[in-house]
Structure 1
Amino acid sequence: MENAIQVRNLTKKYKDFTLDNISFTLPSGTVMGLIGENGAGKSTLINAILGVSDAEYDQVALLGHDLRTQTKLAKEDVAAIFSDSHYDYGMTPLAVGEMLSRFFRNWDQQKYLGYLKRFHLPEKKRLKKFSTGMRVKLEFAAALSHNPKLLILDEATSGLDPVFRDEILDILREFTEEEDHAVLMSSHITSDLDKIADYIAYLHEGKLLFVKTYDDIRDNYGIITCGRQLFDALSRDDISAYRKEAYSYKILVNDRAKLRRIFPDIEMVPASVEDIMLFYVKGEKVK
């Protein structure tokens, strides 16, 4: 399977922040959720992958094309969507469509008009009179209408109501049914990623802590609440992180089935993506 994104050893340095030696791959036909607290470096990473900002790297390839030596080809079939529209607010959706038709060789005007209708966006209304949510809907309409193979979303669904977010997730799911399509989706709404992500990449303070399959998280990770005796009895290899509370420990474990076999009566619940994120940020590592 071809990788839609290949990143090796990407570093971006600012005066007070470093995106440090990031490497990952996104297989075609899949969705990767990029999570991390505000300031973790998610937007910095996305801008570097898109070539919007300079970064040091051994390799960045989009859809099999090297960003450094095949820049035009690398970006040809990529669409990026952000949390607000970057189009001139004096324009109308029809004017946006006319402009984009000149830039994209695969522009599909009928598809674009269809999305405007589907998203209830007035064709001749100026964007300055649109709500934030309406402008984001326009971003999706425009991005999907030049038939990209890779969608990169930077908190693009954060300003949308739950009903439309759910519709967008359905669209993204349909999009990746094509084996040569893929989505990289930065979002702090982890419940959206629970519905759609095949992979979760966790960025914390400029470092990529892990890339895991969603199935791994769903099937294997769990949370135990216990006393000191059980905490001490657990293998350190089974504990990803823990939090000491007043009278107990909350423990993030990485193999529920194994622990069930060893401790059949243990109280344990599955861990969500958000749970794992919170344990890694606010919890402690075993020594």
Structure 2
Amino acid sequence: MTNDSLLAVSHLTKHYPQFTLQDVSFTIAPGTIMGMIGVNGAGKSTTLKSIAGLVNPTSGTIQLAGAENLAVMLGETVYYPEKKLAAITKTTRQFYSQWDEDQYRYYLRFFNLDDQKKVKELSTGMQIKYQLAVTMSHHASMLILDEPTSGIDPVSRDAIRQVFRHYVADGRHSILFSTHITTDLAAIADTITYIHAGTVLYSAAKADFIDHFRREFSLGVDAPLNFDDIMIKIERKDSDDSAIPA
């Protein structure tokens, strides 16, 4: 890994009986946000869990600067419904040597969270925002997030995007997040990595990513093309429309 990368994934492979993540490689520079896309079952979660140390790869390497302070949010965390957020945080912060109480309080205010409320009193969206507040409050150099805006209303999603941009603005932090909400990619991602059937189909800066697929689809340089269009064209090109009943 060079000094230009916070994360370098090289030839990551994981074999399962019914699926193989094969030869996945990409790098993330400091101060950037990478969005990872692909359909369900393509290998996004396996990739993120491998980086987080929750899956043991069959082969390949994962090099992470500041690995001792990685922050991970993979799916919905299950909390005791009767517990107050303040009690959960009191326990959680003990695990982080760089816990920043002022930063945590800032995120509570920004997300309009009351830590005296019990978990059962929060909507799904508010629980996700609480998870993010905790995740971003111990100065992790790299955030690994699996669909962090899923189930969030548009106003809250815009607020989360703003927080993400602020988090990487100092040039020392980076974010890798998977998503099916392609408007998030357009709004905040600097680079895009497309996982297709267990492999990296393409990984590049956002503008280069779009230009690449314009060429792949034989479109003009000014032809409109968004991430939904790209996914649909890629994932449906091998489908058999003749099998669909008339």
Match of 1:281 in 2: 235
Partner of 2:243: none
Does the 8 A contact of 1:89 with 1:128 survive in 2? yes
- CA shift at 1:117, angstroms? 2.5
Deviating 4+ runs (over 4 angstroms): 218-221
CA contact (8 A) 1:112 1:141 kept: yes
Secondary structure of 1:253's aligned partner: coil
Distance 2:144 2:30 in 1: 13
Query: Which stretch has the larger CA shift, 38-47 or 92-101?
Result: 92-101
Verify: 1:160 aligned to 2:114, yes or no: no
Aligned to 1:66: none
* Secondary structure at 1:195 match in 2: helix
Task: For 2:44 and 2:196, locate their aligned partners in 1 and report how far apart those are by CA, in whole Å.
Answer: 9
Deviation (angstroms), 1:219: 5.2
Given the alignment, which residue of 210, 213, 232 partners 2:202?
210
Q: What whole-Å deviation, never above 9, does each CA across 1:178-233 have from its counterpart, x for those lacking one?
A: 212111010000011101111111111111111021011345654xxxxxxxxxxx
Q: 1:275 Cα deviation (Å)?
A: 1.3
Q: Take 1:122 and 1:153, find their aligned partners in 2: how far apart are those partners?
A: 23
Give the number of aligned pairs. 236
Please identify, of 109-118 and 175-184, the stretch whose mean Cα deviation from structure 2 is larger. 109-118
2:244 corresponding residue in structure 1: none
State whether structure 2 residue 147 is matched by structure 1 residue 151. Answer: no
Tell me which residue corresponds to 1:118: 110
Given residue 179 of structure 1, which amino acid in structure 2 is its aligned partner?
A: G
Cα RMSD (Å): 1.8
- Are 2:96 and 1:104 aligned? yes
Task: State the Cα deviation string for residues 257-279 of structure 1 (Å, max 9, x = none).
Answer: 4xxxxxxxxxx622112211211
Is 2:224 the partner of 1:270?
yes
- Do residues 141 (structure 1) and 133 (structure 2) align? yes
**TM-score of the two chains, using structure 1 as the length reference:** 0.77
Distance 1:15 1:158, change over 3 A: same
Partner amino acid for 2:54?
V
Work out the CA distance in 1 between the residues paired with 2:213 and 2:16: 35
Partner of 1:172: 164
Identical aligned residues as a percent: 37
| Equivalent AA in structure 2 for residue 216 of structure 1 | D
Instruction: Using CA pairs under 8 Å that are at least 6 residues apart, name the structure with larger relative contact order, 1 or 2.
Output: 2
Secondary structure at the aligned position of 2:18 is classed as: coil
User: Whole-Å Cα distance in 1 between the matches of residues 45 and 132 of structure 2?
Assistant: 18
2:110 and 2:10 mapped to 1: Cα distance?
A: 39
- What is residue 242 of structure 2 aligned with on the other side? none
Choose between structure 1 and 2: higher strand proportion: 1
Cα distance, 1:103 vs structure 2: 0.8
1:86 Cα deviation from its structure 2 partner? 3.9
Distance in 2 between the 1:80 and 1:38 partners?
A: 20
Q: Where does 1:1-287 land on structure 2 (aligned, <5 Å)?
A: 1-63=3-65, 74=67, 76-218=68-210, 221-222=213-214, 238=215, 240=216, 252-253=217-218, 256-257=220-221, 269-283=223-237
Paired residues of 2:202 and 2:209 also in contact (CA < 8 A): no
The structure that has the greater radius of gyration is 1
Matched AA of 1:253: S
The gaps in structure 2 that reach 5 residues or longer are 239-246
CA shift, 1:3, in A, is 0.9
User: In the aligned structure 2, how far is the partner of 1:79 from the partner of 1:89?
Assistant: 23
